[in-house]
A and B are shown apart, each in its own frame.
Chain A
């Protein structure tokens, strides 16, 4: 029986050097994007508002564990939601945790889940500019993600092309609750544009599409629904593999964000087993599914698995591939991972640096 106690010196804290692949910035209000929206859409917002593809449009499908799904200590003193204060983000997270680069993942306002496609497209454009003007220009450690309204493929491609080559952006961001499984051909122009722009596609937990979170219907509890983020990611990954996306776009790079890790070896083994028996149904797959995943898919680490023994964690990393894991904290959300304590195993300095820094540095081509 061991008592878990932590004592760390200030010196150990300052030695950290990390790339955080999942930081959630927030607007204090819709007015923050007004400068980047056409008058038509500002009026639309005030008259009709935001309508997502599910019931109770302004609500989440399940109550979050804390208001705003946030750390209780992440509310700015001056008001506004967690993630809306750059100053607090600096003093509470970027500075003490040694964040050298942080990837912005805006989740709220869900442009890709808007019922009104034209409004969704206008919102992606506005929020992309907002990320640069409000965050990246004021804090050079941060990088923006190209939001797209994936249900309008043409507009998505135009937005990707418009941002391609802009060093403020490191990736394209899609939430996995797409109208159809994301590997379907209607979305392929997006993958083509991603490859053309040399931008990876980040798929971060979230979004609404009106479908229940689970194959068995709507969950009763937040805890129940929270487990389904892994199911959702499994569905999207199997779709991308079996529809042949990775075969058709061998240069495409995908990063699965916040979907957990423990399921990955089991899913890839199961897919390989089925492929060896049912391959003729999907002859466009030339290789076992696990190979596409091993070569073209990366995973962010938060929420880090906490298995019973450290050996199980090491085994998990061995099976996924140490070079596929990108560290993330999820700041300022409640299931934040602290870089000092996230990995409950004795890692070598090189392993720790690879997970916290090196992998993301290579993946995003950072200096």
Chain B
């Protein structure tokens, strides 16, 4: 496992996503209202590129005829078969224990901390004043 600086927080506005490649893996970085999450770009069901899916909320119902919508923008829906994945956990909504997309540890760190550490910021120069998205792969 190594830590990788993959983006600045400014690169991914709230509600947006970015696809990055780290060590041959395609990983999607998602900004949910200022919180960042990283999941594999490969759907665990049949391998679709998850990052091409729609970012959706959670629709639930306490009884027929009654609907609740919550967690706006926190679920990712596969572009093929529509599996819904919780971006916070990687778990699918319908089979949370059995079908989950791999998620990666992610931290937002200031440039100053990175320059002093031994990070693999090989893709771009790190500026002390900025905030960076760092994932562990």
B positions within 8 Å CB-CB of A: 42, 44-49, 52-54, 79-82, 97-100, 102
Of all chain A residues, the one with the shortest Cβ separation from B99 is: A4
Task: Please indicate which of the listed interface residues B42, B79, B82, B102 has the most CB atoms of chain A within 10 Å of its own CB.
Answer: B79
| Known A1-B98, A4-B100, A72-B54; 8 more pairs at CB < 8 Å | A3-B44, A4-B98, A4-B99, A6-B47, A71-B80, A73-B80, A334-B82, A336-B80
Query: Are A1 and B47 in touch, CB under 8 angstroms?
Result: no
> Is A65 an interface position by the 8 A CB rule?
yes
> Is A341 an interface position by the 8 A CB rule?
yes
B79: chain A residues within 8 A (beta carbon):
71-73
How many angstroms between the C-alpha atoms of A2 and B44 in the bound complex? 12
Interface range, A side: 20 to 34
Query: Are A4 and B45 in touch, CB under 8 angstroms?
Result: yes
Of all chain A residues, the one with the shortest Cβ separation from B101 is: A5
Give the contacting residue for A73; candidates B42, B52, B98, B100; CB below 8 A: B52
Query: Are B47 and A338 in touch, CB under 8 angstroms?
Result: yes
How many angstroms between the C-alpha atoms of A73 and B99 in the bound complex? 21
B48: chain A residues within 8 A (beta carbon):
71, 73, 338
Q: Chain B interface secondary structure, helix, strand, loop or mixed? A: loop
> Is A225 an interface position by the 8 A CB rule?
no
> Is A151 an interface position by the 8 A CB rule?
no
Of all A-B residue pairs in the complex, the 5 with the closest CB atoms, nearest first, are A72-B79, A73-B52, A4-B44, A341-B46, A338-B46
Query: Are A5 and B97 in touch, CB under 8 angstroms?
Result: no
How many angstroms between the C-alpha atoms of A196 and B35 in the bound complex? 66
**Distance between A47 CB and nearest chain B CB, rounded to angstroms:** 38
Query: Are B44 and A73 in touch, CB under 8 angstroms?
Result: no
Query: Are A342 and B46 in touch, CB under 8 angstroms?
Result: yes
Give the contacting residue for B42; candidates A1, A6, A342; CB below 8 A: A6
Give the contacting residue for A3; candidates B46, B53, B81, B100; CB below 8 A: B100
A-B contact pairs, 27 of them (CB 8 A): A2-B98, A3-B44, A4-B44, A4-B98, A4-B100, A5-B102, A6-B42, A6-B44, A6-B47, A65-B82, A71-B79, A71-B80, A72-B52, A72-B53, A72-B54, A73-B48, A73-B52, A73-B80, A334-B81, A334-B82, A335-B80, A335-B81, A337-B46, A338-B47, A338-B48, A340-B46, A341-B45
Query: Are A73 and B49 in touch, CB under 8 angstroms?
Result: yes
B54: chain A residues within 8 A (beta carbon):
72
B82: chain A residues within 8 A (beta carbon):
65-66, 334
B97: chain A residues within 8 A (beta carbon):
1
**Distance between B77 CB and nearest chain A CB, rounded to angstroms:** 8
Q: Chain A interface secondary structure, helix, strand, loop or mixed? A: loop
Of all chain B residues, the one with the shortest Cβ separation from A335 is: B81
How many angstroms between the C-alpha atoms of A338 and B48 in the bound complex? 9
B100: chain A residues within 8 A (beta carbon):
3-4
> Is A8 an interface position by the 8 A CB rule?
yes
How many angstroms between the C-alpha atoms of A73 and B46 in the bound complex? 14
Of all chain B residues, the one with the shortest Cβ separation from A341 is: B46
A337: chain B residues within 8 A (beta carbon):
46
Of all chain B residues, the one with the shortest Cβ separation from A303 is: B81
How many angstroms between the C-alpha atoms of A202 and B96 in the bound complex? 39
How many angstroms between the C-alpha atoms of A336 and B79 in the bound complex? 10
How many angstroms between the C-alpha atoms of A337 and B47 in the bound complex? 10
**Distance between B22 CB and nearest chain A CB, rounded to angstroms:** 14
**Distance between A344 CB and nearest chain B CB, rounded to angstroms:** 10
Contact code string A205-245 (vs B, CB < 8 Å = 1, else 0) = 00000000000000000000000000000000000000000
Of all chain B residues, the one with the shortest Cβ separation from A304 is: B46
How many angstroms between the C-alpha atoms of A334 and B46 in the bound complex? 12
**Distance between A339 CB and nearest chain B CB, rounded to angstroms:** 10
Q: For chain A residues 330-352, which have a beta carbon within 8 Å of chain B?
A: 334-338, 340-342
B99: chain A residues within 8 A (beta carbon):
4
**Distance between A67 CB and nearest chain B CB, rounded to angstroms:** 11
